[in-house]
Structure 1
Amino acid sequence: MAMASSQHELGPKDWHPGSWLAKPATQQPSYPDADKLASAIQTLRSMPPLVTSWEILTLRQMLAEAEEGKRFVLQGGDCAESFAECDSNTISSRLKVLLQMSVVLIHGLKLPIVRVGRFAGQYAKPRSADLETRDGVELPSYRGDIVNGPEFTKEARLPDPERMLKGHSHSAMTINFIRALIDGGFADLHHPEYWDLGWVDHSPLAREYRRMVEQIGESVRFMETLAGPIGNFSRVDFYTSHEALLLHYEQALTRQVPRQTGFFNLSTHFPWIGMRTAALDGAHVEYCRGIKNPIGLKIGPSVTVDQLLNVIDALNPNNERGKLMLIHRMGANKIVSALPPLLEAVRKEGKHVLWSCDPMHGNTESTSNGFKTRRFDNIRAELDRAFDLHQAAGTHLGGAHLELTGDNVTECLGGARDLSEIDLTRAYKSTVDPRLNYEQSLELAMLIVRKSGR
């Protein structure tokens, strides 16, 4: 894609991959052994990249088209991956759900879908406190498998920099398996039965989904009968994303590549900055402003117009399309008051951004029996209101950002099976945040179709 200026091609003159070290860095683990950290970083710098620069630039072009209303972005996956779940069934189940949701969206929106997984690197998580106390025992908080272990023991909770090497290897295994599935025809529209999840055979939503697939299949076969093979229905484009939280890891995989100028983060196609680390003068904004990847920025109800505009200028100084996605996560009860001033300011200033809605993180609560959960009615309400608010503001909602799984979990209340607090005890598997299951995910995809008005 065409670049706006030679400065953009070369990158900011006052930036280099380690310039974040001079800025306040929040949400970083405290490693007890500096030599071990240095050794792990040096090893990581020599390891192969996980993605390529041309894949990153292709995604940027697709995001630019989504900003113009020509595509819709579906970003989804686990709240936090675990090393233990780097297995073929878990990975393929996540992929199946995203493929099925994208078919629903294609059928209803009549638009190409950009599929971005929250996996192959989503091993770090921000925490509200550095320490956790249980029964009078205080230990470091669990910050994701790339930092420490979830078990509440001194040994498991000690931050270990060698876990970054395990994070790289597990990310590589995940993305290579996904590529092999897609290249092998797993995503072939002629064979959607490959995507079936056995545990949902009797779901009403599954039956509705299959009717959509049959209609698409009939359309494909009809067109191929008339004109022969058209396009490539046997594979899809798929991209990875994760929160750029652990900056030593991100820096070590930030590289220059042949025949391209500037620096690419080659650990993922699409890194994002979380709400806890989005300070204008902070290390995460400093790091992300210099890479050529498209960047996501989570924004919550406490963000002011001036704060948002200043961070937009820092991350996308040349105001390029496809560079910056703003992912609002307000909560169902706050979005009506918090979002419109931001939409108006960004539109009025002529900022090129792609808007996406994360209806998950602003709706987290704890139940009376001690589970961290989200109510599907609130998730659905926030997404529904987001479409209405964008329409009223004259802006375009071009994506959705969801935490979901293909497993038969009971972590979010409500949905097609009307899960209750008692149901949470049956199959609550997440170590961090509650995720949508298959039925709840499909139901949201169908809501997006209805709200699009197409």
Structure 2
Amino acid sequence: MSNTRLLIPSRAVQQPDWTRWDDLDRVLAELSGRPALVSEETTAALREELAFVARGTAFVVQAGDCAELFSDSTPERIRAKATALHTLGDLFESLTKIPVVRIGRFAGQYAKPRSNPWEQLPDGSRVPVYRGDAVNGAEPTAAARQPDPHRLLRAYELTRQALAELRTPRPTAGTVTSVLAPTYISHEALLLEYEHALLRSDTHGGRYASSAPFLWIGERTRQPDHAHIDLAAAISNPVGVKVGPDASAADVTALLDRLNPAARPGRLTLIVRMGAQRIGTALPALLDGLGPRAAEAIWMTDPMHGNTRTTAAGQKSRVLTDVLAEVQTFFTVMRAHGLHAGGLHLESAPDDVTECVASPADLDDETPLPRYESACDPRLNPAQAEEVVRLAASLAVAPAT
């Protein structure tokens, strides 16, 4: 058994049942010896940029895939995703004159937590749930859904290629060239074996996660005494934590104590995902309970994950009016508490997909949404994402009342 796997504490949720443990050990040993994907300098640069967000003088636009597919990670597709991200960031900057930190939810977003370990098929049989391309295949067959440790090597290689693409100058419509940078990549730090294998020593005697400069911990894995928070506490990267409507002030205080005990600006981001129906009561109660300690973190809104619905055709979707309503309430509540609304965290596609609908009435249509390409949750198309950014920009510069 590899030392890497022994590093993982027992209290770890949402982990695959790899079954092929010898293969996993060999894969982890190989990953441990491979070059870092991102440098310590890159993580430090992002932390410095996020410190401006923490002080209220910058804004984050974080956008990209729900569950990134290996097949959708070619250099051309990475360039398209980064261009879409920069388009949103440029739009916000042009409307507000506020600097934007651009963080891609791609080039590593290959794993997803799931609410059920099994998927029921139409014939009554069941297969293990799809957990992202880093773990298994999306095809609903027993063979495809078998967790395969070798997929971790593919995730590493595709991230390496994506980072190389993001650093490469490309021609623009004019006569000059541009680099899709600074484009910071990010993903949910879900697969503990993978993240531990890619930990590297930093110049301060500690460790940093070399898989991406920014990692976040999901709502399902944010227990303060569990393994995912142990990982986040042990690294020098800036980190995020998703915060749902049932989070208490005690829960968040424990996260502040563990992840940012020195209250360093830019170290910790709390990503609120409460849903349009609950954020108006849940977020004020949380901020009231935290009092002055709420200022120890950046606060962002994820208006996607609390607003998932199902169409009459049985597809998961999100209603744009719900997304906009959550953004509106987030800004209103933050301003009322004297806090900076620090950013947007969106699931969005660079293509004209039809995964999110415009209004609740659209959910009643029994015709399947025609261009539904997400491997898991519905994403905004460029026009919808632009509408969200335009609203956020108007709220960011609205005069205080």
The TM-score range, normalised by the shorter chain, is over 0.9
Consecutive unaligned residues in structure 1, runs of 5 or more: 1-15, 195-232
* Residue among 240, 243, 253 paired with 2:185: 240
Secondary structure in 1 aligned to 2:86? helix
* Residue among 238, 254, 262 paired with 2:199: 254
CA deviation map 1:136-175 (0-9, x unaligned) = 2221111000000011111111101111001101111122
* Residue among 238, 244, 252 paired with 1:300: 244
Matches within 5 A, 1:140-151: 140-151=128-139
Aligned to 1:403: 347
Matches within 5 A, 1:243-392: 243-257=188-202, 259-349=203-293, 351-392=295-336
Greater relative contact order structure (CA < 8 Å, 6+ sep)? 1
Secondary structure in 2 aligned to 1:412? coil
Q: Which moved more, 1:125-134 or 1:422-431?
A: 422-431
Shift of 1:236: 4.0
Amino acid at match of 1:247: L
What is the rounded CA distance, in whole Å, between the counterparts of 2:267 and 2:338 in structure 1? 21
What is the rounded CA distance, in whole Å, between the counterparts of 2:367 and 2:384 in structure 1? 15
Aligned to 1:426: 370
Aligned to 2:94: 107
Matches within 5 A, 1:117-136: 117-134=104-121, 135-136=123-124
Let me know the Cα RMSD of the aligned residues: 2.2
Q: Cα–Cα, structure 1 residues 243 and 191, in superposed 2: closer, same or farther, change >3 Å? A: farther
Shift of 1:261: 2.6
What is the rounded CA distance, in whole Å, between the counterparts of 2:208 and 2:116 in structure 1? 31
Greater C-alpha Rg: 1
Aligned to 1:213: none
Secondary structure in 1 aligned to 2:190? coil
Q: Cα–Cα, structure 1 residues 177 and 81, in superposed 2: closer, same or farther, change >3 Å? A: same
TM-score (norm 1): 0.82
Does structure 2 conserve the Cα–Cα contact (< 8 Å) formed by 1:241 and 1:269? Answer: yes
Count of residues in correspondence between the two structures = 393
Aligned to 2:22: 35
Does structure 2 conserve the Cα–Cα contact (< 8 Å) formed by 1:17 and 1:287? Answer: no
Does structure 2 conserve the Cα–Cα contact (< 8 Å) formed by 1:19 and 1:286? Answer: no
Does structure 2 conserve the Cα–Cα contact (< 8 Å) formed by 1:73 and 1:399? Answer: yes
CA deviation map 1:116-138 (0-9, x unaligned) = 00011100000101111212222
* Residue among 38, 54, 64 paired with 2:51: 64
Does structure 2 conserve the Cα–Cα contact (< 8 Å) formed by 1:412 and 1:419? Answer: no
Shift of 1:271: 0.4
Aligned to 2:127: 139
Amino acid at match of 1:153: T
TM-score (norm 2): 0.93
Identity of aligned residues (%): 39
Consecutive unaligned residues in structure 2, runs of 5 or more: none
Shift of 1:23: 3.6
Amino acid at match of 2:384: Q
Does structure 2 conserve the Cα–Cα contact (< 8 Å) formed by 1:117 and 1:238? Answer: yes
What is the rounded CA distance, in whole Å, between the counterparts of 2:179 and 2:146 in structure 1? 46
Does structure 1 conserve the Cα–Cα contact (< 8 Å) formed by 2:73 and 2:107? Answer: no
More helix by share: 1
Shift of 1:346: 3.4
